[in-house]
Each structure stands twice: as C-alpha cells, then as structure tokens.
Amino acid sequence: MISIFGLTEKTDKIDQLSKYVWSKWGTKENFNFYYDCMAHSLISNDVPKFYFAADEEQVVACYAILRNELVARQDLTPWFACLFVEPEYRGNNMGSKLLDHASAEAKKFDYKQLYLSTSLENYYEKYNWNHVADSFYFNGERTKIYVKEV
C-alpha cells in the first residue's frame, strides 16, 4: 500500500530521504545543497517542505513545496517542485495523487495558489494547472510557469 508522508514525520530518515531527492535532481557536486535545504525545512513553520510516497518502506516518489524555484519570477510563491515518480509506479495516478496532496498541503499553510515551472508539454494541464507565463531558469533556459488555485 502506498503512503504519502512529509520529512517532518520521519526526521530520523533525513540522510536516506535527502539522498533520494538528490539522486533524482542533483549532481555529484551539490548533495550539500539538497541536504542543507531539507535539514532547514525541519525548523520552519512554513515552506519549504519535502514529501515522499512509499510502497511499504521503499520510497517510490517525491515532491517539494518551496519558497522559490530557481527561476526569474521570484515574486511568485510557493512552488511545487522536485516531482519524481519511479518508472514502475508511473501510469497509475501516482503523479495525480502527489499533485492533489501538494494542493492540500499548500492550503494548510494558507496559500491560495501553487506555482510550478516545467518544460513538459500537456502534463500539468490534465490536472487543472494553468500556463500563466514563460520565464527563465538561473542558467538562462526558458521555462513555462503554471499556477493552480488550492
């Protein structure tokens, strides 16, 4: 059975969980960036927050709600980020469940909207996210920005 939990519920697993997120999104040079962000999320009463889906004890997916994304639009917050679903768990609504979970979590923090940046085509639209702008990542690459009311 799949369960979704926040890092705040399993603080004793921070080493394992930070390595998981880093293994999906990081580079060999930036593990400390991910670990530091996740460790400091534990002392915040607001975002950032990190979430995971597990099948029994095996982590099979993750996402985060962050104060900012590494995009030029620093005026927007919070951001849905770091979504990753293991290939063998794709196609069975896992992404949809995590998107719904993120909306509910953002609402708990009293946010009215949730943003994301992506280069994916026609994925988030299926889940009622609206393309509102184009922007740029810190490295100059173009990205699309989406918003969803929560």
User: Residue 26: what residue type?
Assistant: G
129: closest CA among 140, 137, 118? 118
Task: Please state the rounded mean pLDDT for residues 35-59.
Answer: 96
> Which domains are seen in the chain, by residue range?
2-149 (3.40.630.30)
With pLDDT > 90 as the criterion, what percentage of the chain qualifies? Answer: 95
With pLDDT > 70 as the criterion, what percentage of the chain qualifies? Answer: 100
Look at residue 84 in the predicted model and tell me its pLDDT.
Answer: 98
Question: How far apart are the C-alpha atoms of 98 and 83, rounded to whole Å?
Answer: 8
Task: Please state the rounded mean pLDDT for residues 42-61.
Answer: 96
Name the pTM for this structure: 0.95
Tell how far CA 73 is from the center of its chain: 17
pLDDT at 31 over 90: yes
pLDDT tens track for 73-87: 999 999 999 999 999
* Bond preceding residue 78 cis, omega within 30 of 0: yes
Residue owning tokens 């009293």: 110
Average pLDDT of the chain, as a whole number:
96
pLDDT at 124 over 90: yes
From residue 104, alpha-carbon distances to 48, 113, 128 in Å are 15, 11, 14
Question: How far apart are the C-alpha atoms of 5 and 50, rounded to whole Å?
Answer: 9
pLDDT at 70 over 90: no
Question: How far apart are the C-alpha atoms of 82 and 85, rounded to whole Å?
Answer: 10
